[in-house]
């Protein structure tokens, strides 16, 4: 790529040194410290630093041109644009020869369910013999290669490089979890989507977006702006049971083919559920293309909804129905999404990523519907994030569990005790009984809550209290294998901690005198 091609891709407001248009661009960077000789540096205004302050360092490292959004002197060509984030995405797509145009790209957005839908769709692709790459929260992967995931939706340069590597490896399809940050920060500009999937919208990320209206407007842009701009013939798959989904479907139906899904038979895709218990679910999915049988090991009503979303995306891509059926039944879900920790003594212990009010409510409702005895919920809330959701999550845990164990999540730079203090006003109006850990040595007989800030101790207490037939939900961190305390990231895996506790606890025996705590 040369500078003339960069200029054509971003159409800058001003260019210094236009005589240098033939200068070759060997790499693209948004961090000055990463610039190598022959590279192009794009100055991004970040949350803690401004790339414009590091232009001189980028040039010293060998940048042959820079892109800025405010007047910046320089000895190398300077291209000024209104929005360097958007320019970075446009340059990255051009630099890597627009890889998304060469593959069938599915974008999945929504507050909850993105990762699970991506894993189910990946299973369908495998059953159909489709070579696909995945870009998401847990990791990015393709053809046996796995890349770590720093962000659900990577920065645009990293995203386009991943798509290019997937194309080179022979992938014909790709699945991308499209986070609201990725849309707002222009990371997915230049991506040509074939299918957009909307799962739901509930409260999250208000520390970033400010309010639900702006959060919703950002999510909608995948369908109202990005899909139409891709130059393909896009299709949409929308949750018709979600109020925002219904609004979105009405708005875009005239612009692109749209399939709605949900439990309501008014949707294009809806299920008849024959079984839904702690062993999984099975039934029939009714679609415009015909009925699909499914028998899934995944637990809960919300996971049936995720199956519907993945089936809709597969139908929008015209995949064979036999492959869709096989993929639905073979999918085990995503790591850390209602993932069961095995126990030989009859306790049902699950780890889940639920860290929003809606996600926690969905998971607890799902377990309430199918549990056999008592339900214990271990949860906390993240620090340096939206404080308004903390009492909401407390109220949900109190209403839908028999014992709530309130603990730390990723406190980050906040005092864990302060976070818990924000949670408790949601719990106490529902659960009047406050237990001290020492009081629970011999179990508990009435619904209540206990505060135990140390997450390892909280998980241990919950498992020690669980008897055969009881269900324990450890919510908030899911697949994460770390805990962020202050500015330090320390190893911590809910699943591993729970497995160790289960292995060292004595066999859980039902106390016939205890009864259910409901």
The Cα–Cα gap between 342 and 155 comes to 37
Q: Which of 135, 218, 223 lies closest to 177, judged by CA?
A: 135
Strand 403-406 relative to strand 375-379: parallel, antiparallel, unpaired?
parallel
Q: What is the mean pLDDT of the chain?
A: 93
For residue 420, what pLDDT is reported?
98
For residue 92, what pLDDT is reported?
98
The Cα–Cα gap between 206 and 385 comes to 8
Q: Which carries the bigger pLDDT value, residue 295 or residue 442?
A: 295
What's the whole-number mean pLDDT along residues 48-71? 94
For residue 213, what pLDDT is reported?
86
Q: Which of 320, 314, 93 lies closest to 195, judged by CA?
A: 314
pLDDT above 70: percentage of residues in the chain: 96
Q: Give pLDDT tens digits for 391-424.
A: 999 999 999 999 999 999 999 999 999 999 999 9
The Cα–Cα gap between 132 and 173 comes to 5
Kindly report the pTM of this predicted structure.
0.85
The Cα–Cα gap between 280 and 112 comes to 20
173-205 CB burial, b ≥16 within 10 A, e <16: bbbbbbbbebbbbbbbbbbbbbbbbbbbbbbbb
Q: Distance of CA 458 to CAs 12, 409, 450, 486, Å?
A: 55, 11, 9, 20
Which residue is listed with tokens 């948004």?
30
For residue 512, what pLDDT is reported?
37
Q: What are the strands of the beta sheet with 434-435, ordered from one edge?
A: 339-341, 348-352, 471-475, 375-379, 403-406, 448-451, 434-435
Which residue is listed with tokens 């505060």?
451
Instruction: Name the CA dihedral angle for 299, 302, 304, 306, rounded to a multiple of 10 degrees.
Output: -120
Instruction: Name the CA dihedral angle for 423, 426, 432, 436, rounded to a multiple of 10 degrees.
Output: -10
Q: Would you place residue 285 in the very low, low, confident or very high pLDDT band (cuts 50, 70, 90)?
A: very high
The Cα–Cα gap between 265 and 291 comes to 13
pLDDT at 291 over 50: yes
Q: Would you place residue 511 in the very low, low, confident or very high pLDDT band (cuts 50, 70, 90)?
A: very low
Q: For residue 434, what are the β-bridge partners? A: 449
Contact 169, 42 (CB under 8 A): no
The Cα–Cα gap between 405 and 416 comes to 14
**Where would I find the H helices in 331-485?**
357-370, 389-400, 416-427, 455-465
Q: Distance of CA 1 to CAs 27, 69, 90, 156, Å?
A: 9, 22, 13, 17
Q: Give pLDDT tens digits for 230-266.
A: 889 999 999 999 999 999 999 999 999 999 999 999 9
Cα dihedral sign, 356-357-360-366: negative
Q: Would you place residue 477 in the very low, low, confident or very high pLDDT band (cuts 50, 70, 90)?
A: very high
Max CA pair span of the chain: 88
Q: Which long-range contacts (CB under 8 A, 24 or more apart) does 431-439 make?
A: 431/398, 431/404, 435/403, 437/461
pLDDT at 156 over 60: yes
pLDDT at 517 over 60: no
pLDDT at 12 over 60: yes
For residue 188, what pLDDT is reported?
95
Which residue is listed with tokens 């630099």?
95
Encoded tokens for 212: 């639900």
What's the whole-number mean pLDDT along residues 419-433? 96
Q: Which carries the bigger pLDDT value, residue 98 or residue 517?
A: 98
The region that residue 336 occupies, defined by phi over 0 for left and psi between -120 and 50 for alpha, beta otherwise, is left
Contact 390, 381 (CB under 8 A): yes
Q: What does 5-60 look like in DSSP terms, one character per residue?
A: HHHHHH--SEES-GGGTT-B--EEESSGGG--TTEEEE--B-SS-BGGGGHHHHHH
End-to-end CA distance of the chain: 67
- Rounded to the nearest angstrom, the gap between the alpha carbon of residue 403 and the centroid of all alpha carbons in its chain is 28
Contacts of 305 (CB under 8 A, 6+ apart): 113, 199, 239, 241, 261, 262, 263
């Amino acid at each position: 790529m040369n500078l003339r091609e960069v200029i054509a891709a971003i159409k800058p407001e001003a260019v210094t040194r236009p005589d240098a248009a033939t200068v070759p661009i060997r790499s693209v960077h948004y961090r000055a410290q990463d610039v190598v000789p022959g590279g192009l540096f794009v100055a991004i205004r970040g949350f803690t630093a401004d790339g414009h302050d590091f232009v001189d360092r980028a040039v010293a490292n060998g940048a042959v041109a820079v892109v800025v959004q405010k007047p910046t002197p320089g000895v190398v060509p300077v291209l000024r644009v209104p929005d360097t984030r958007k320019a970075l995405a446009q340059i990255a797509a051009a630099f890597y020869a627009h890889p998304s145009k060469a593959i069938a790209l599915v974008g999945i957005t929504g507050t909850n369910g993105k990762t699970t839908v991506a894993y189910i769709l990946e299973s369908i692709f495998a059953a159909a013999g489709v070579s696909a790459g995945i870009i998401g929260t847990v990791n990015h992967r393709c053809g046996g290669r796995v890349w770590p995931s720093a962000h659900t939706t990577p920065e645009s340069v990293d995203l386009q490089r991943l798509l290019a590597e997937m194309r080179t490896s022979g992938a014909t399809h790709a699945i991308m979890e499209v986070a609201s940050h990725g849309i707002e920060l222009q990371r997915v500009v230049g991506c040509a989507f074939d299918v957009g999937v909307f799962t739901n919208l509930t409260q999250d990320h208000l520390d970033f977006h400010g309010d639900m209206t702006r959060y919703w407007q950002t999510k909608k842009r995948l369908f109202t702006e990005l899909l139409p701009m891709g130059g393909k013939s896009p299709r949409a798959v929308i949750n018709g049971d979600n109020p925002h989904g219904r609004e979105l479907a009405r708005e875009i139906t005239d612009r692109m083919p749209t399939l709605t899904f949900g439990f309501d038979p008014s949707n294009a895709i809806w299920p008849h559920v024959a079984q839904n218990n702690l062993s999984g679910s099975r039934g029939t999915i009714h679609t415009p293309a015909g009925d699909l049988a499914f028998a899934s090991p995944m637990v809960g009503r919300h996971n049936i909804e995720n199956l519907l979303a993945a089936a809709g995306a597969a139908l929008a891509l015209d995949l064979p129905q036999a492959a869709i059926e096989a993929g639905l039944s073979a999918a085990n879900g995503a790591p850390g999404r209602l993932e069961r920790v095995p126990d030989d003594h009859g306790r049902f212990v699950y780890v889940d990523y639920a860290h929003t009010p809606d996600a926690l409510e969905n998971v607890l409702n799902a377990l309430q519907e199918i549990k056999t005895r008592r339900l214990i919920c271990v949860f906390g809330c993240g620090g340096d994030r939206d404080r308004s959701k903390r009492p909401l999550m407390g109220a949900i845990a109190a209403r839908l569990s028999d014992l709530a164990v309130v603990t730390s999540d990723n406190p980050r730079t906040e005092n864990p005790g302060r976070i818990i203090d924000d949670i408790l006003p949601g719990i106490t109006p529902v659960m009047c009984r406050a237990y001290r850990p020492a009081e629970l040595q011999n179990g508990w007989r009435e619904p209540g809550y206990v505060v135990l800030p140390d997450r390892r101790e909280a998980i241990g207490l919950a498992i020690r209290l669980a008897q055969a037939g009881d269900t324990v939900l450890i919510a908030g961190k899911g697949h994460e294998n770390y805990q962020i305390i202050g500015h330090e990231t320390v190893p911590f895996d809910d699943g591993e901690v729970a497995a160790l506790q289960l292995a060292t606890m004595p066999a859980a025996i039902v106390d016939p005198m205890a009864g259910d705590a409901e």
